[in-house]
Structure 1
């Protein structure tokens, strides 16, 4: 159950980031990489907030 919730959070996070990149017309690859790294950090922070052990 917790794994499903975590997957949903990750998918939502990625959807938000890609929609933002589309909205701001960010085509630069470097900016996309920065956003992906930020999304990963956000996911890790969410994981720490919920004190869930996935890894």
Structure 2
């Protein structure tokens, strides 16, 4: 029997990432998953109300 994998979207770049193996950050009690340390760092660098985009 195979285990199903859970995916979510990286809030910075929109890439689908596997929750179990992704990098994570917590903001306001919510856990976010990221494809890379660069996306996680960009997310952490902005305040909660600002839009975040990777590569800008």
- For the criterion TM > 0.5, the same-fold answer is no
TM-score (norm 2): 0.26
Task: Indicate the structure with greater strand content.
Answer: 2
Instruction: Decide which structure has the larger Cα Rg and report it.
Output: 1
